[in-house]
Amino acid sequence: MRSINSKLCYNVILGSTRNTKFFLWSSQYTIVSQDLLGLQKIMAHITQDENWNPRANFIVYVEKITNSEIKHALKIFLNLNAYNVIILVTGEVTSIYTYFPFRVGLCGKTIGDVSLLGNCENFADARDCFPNKFINGLRNCTVAVVLLEAVPNIIFKSSNYTVYGEYKPGTEQYFLNEIAAKEGVTLRYIESKEKFGGIVLPNGTTTGLLHFLETGKADIATGNTRLAKNRADVFDYLWSANYLTYCLFTSAKRVPDWKKFYKEFDSLTWILILICYALITVVCVFTLNPTLRKPNDYICVFFQLYGFFFLGNSSTTLLAKKRLRIVLVCWIWLTFFLSNFYVTNLYSLASTHTKPTVDAFENNPNILNELPFKPCISGSMRTFFRVNDNFTFPENAFSDCFIPGKQLDIVASNSDLYTIDTKVTYIVNEYKYIDDEGKPKLDVWEFSNDYMMVSYLTRGFPLTDKFRTHAQHIFESGLIKRYLETLKIRGRSLLQYNSKKFKSFQLKDLRVHFFILGAGSSVAIIAFIFEIIIKTTFK
């Protein structure tokens, strides 16, 4: 150890395996153990640290080790994807052993032959003990990828999702296929029956797709897998240039046409009408002020203006003044344009679907408890919110809500339910949620858009850096976005078969207008009676 330590070009920090939090992300590990069993225990402790770096250089010294045990020691590191390893064996000289797991046909899965690099005296610099073992990479090798179906990101061949009758892989599969073609590797897809991506438990074990990585059954796991800190502490990850936008979905309520027309006459509209009427009345009163001699003249002007503005009655008193005629003409033009604007928008009001307004969610799951709906949330979504946001949804209204891909169908047919799903899932399947009249069956609100969608890789996967470089190039070129548009063709082609029926107005659709007309006529009659009473009383 002294011989090689004197030539080290690294800063060495001594740490105890009893405290795994002491270790820092490092490019160099120097490990000393008494025997092979002790080495296994040391590596078990080191790998529990979140800053564990299998791509570092490992200088290993085992005091009691035989030549036959060197291969077993190297296998410990091979199982951890640690390839830059040298083992020091003391004797008359200190010999340096290593292995080359990327020679032709080995593909980083087997040790092959143990190689003797020489002794410490043969190297002027310790870095020379770590030759480049990754010259050919994984070319002509097979990489196992476990998938969780999540259209359009992951599409199984057994799925009935096709574009013009032809099977198309999902965006994540397309992304990985492009990278694999660049690196000359073959991807072996494993279609998992798991229902969610999986989580990292407090004891370090995993569930779902991630368990395939933990047990070495796969090198990559993907399928709507979101980036989470506890996952990133255990595995490497690859961003596929995609963000997950989550939306809140409720059943679109059908509102009768007359109610849509009525909503245009809300309290603010009536207040504006009254203010305008009061303003024009004041202007007219000031204009007629020299001719108004009695107190009841002001009251008469008020009713005369009402009859003139809303009932079309003329008055010689009002039209006697030129300035007043100018004011009245301006008022007539204003009301004419407003009335025509409303009438021309009647069909738009009747044919356009409007959803109720809600306050911004601001990525706050707690506001979901205030909604007047019952949840219909999948198991994977429940797990994700519980782990990442410490939020627990109430019990589902139906047991079928736990079945992946069924939530939108259930919510569309039940007006008292809500669910949360990705926006891209809805866009691709939008044709399912358009009725015969071309109106949506679901109301959609954006909930959050800051979740990164990633593929998880075993820690120390040899192609991690190259995959990330290719991923950056794919993102910059816009290939993922373009391919997603190809998948959307299916939805657009199916949408065109939905007939949009023309629906003519009926008298019952204009009941609000007739009500306003009746109310106005009633007020006019009452005003007429008051006018007769006032004239009779003050005559």
CB 156, CB 147: distance < 8 Å? yes
- Cα–Cα dist 445/411, whole Å: 14
Dihedral (Cα; 242, 243, 246, 251), 10-degree rounding: -40
Q: Which residues pair with 143 in a beta bridge?
A: 187
pLDDT for position 147: 93
Q: Which residues pair with 119 in a beta bridge?
A: 95
pLDDT tens digit string along 327-345? 777 777 877 777 777 777 6
pLDDT for position 324: 72
Let me know the angle formed at the C-alpha of 501 by 338 and 486, rounded to the nearest 5 degrees: 100
Structure tokens at 248: 């809140």
Q: What is the pTM of this model?
A: 0.71
350: nearest Cα among 508, 515, 499, 496: 508
CB atoms within 10 A of CB 367: 15
Structure tokens at 233: 């502490």
Report the amino acid identity of residue 205: T
Cα–Cα distances (Å) from 285 to 176, 288, 319, 324, in that order, read 79, 5, 13, 9
3-state secondary structure of 486: helix
Query: Residue 48: exposed, middle, or buried by beta-carbon count in 10 A (0-12, 13-18, 19+)?
Result: middle
pLDDT for position 52: 86
3-state secondary structure of 404: coil
pLDDT for position 77: 94
In the sheet with 57-62, reading across from the earlier edge strand, the strands are 28-33, 57-62, 85-89, 95-99, 114-119
3-state secondary structure of 392: coil
What are the φ/ψ torsions at residue 135 (nearest 5 degrees)?
A: -65, -50
Contacts of 354 (CB under 8 A, 6+ apart): 255, 260
List the pLDDT tens digit at each of the 539 positions of the chain.
444 444 443 444 455 545 545 445 677 888 988 899 999 999 988 888 878 889 888 989 988 888 889 999 999 999 999 999 999 888 778 888 999 898 888 888 888 888 888 887 777 676 777 877 776 678 889 999 999 988 888 889 888 777 877 888 988 999 999 999 999 999 999 998 877 788 888 887 898 899 999 998 999 999 878 888 888 888 999 987 777 888 899 998 766 666 666 666 677 877 887 888 788 777 777 776 655 556 566 666 666 676 666 655 556 666 666 777 777 777 778 777 777 777 776 666 666 666 766 655 566 788 888 888 899 998 888 888 887 778 889 888 888 888 878 899 999 999 889 999 888 888 888 888 888 777 788 989 888 777 888 999 999 999 999 999 999 898 888 888 888 888 877 655 555 444 455 555 566 666 666 777 788 778 778 877 887 787 777 65
pLDDT for position 320: 65
CB atoms within 10 A of CB 343: 10
227 alpha-carbon distance from chain centroid:
11
pLDDT for position 372: 86
Cα–Cα distances (Å) from 377 to 212, 382, 398, in that order, read 25, 7, 10
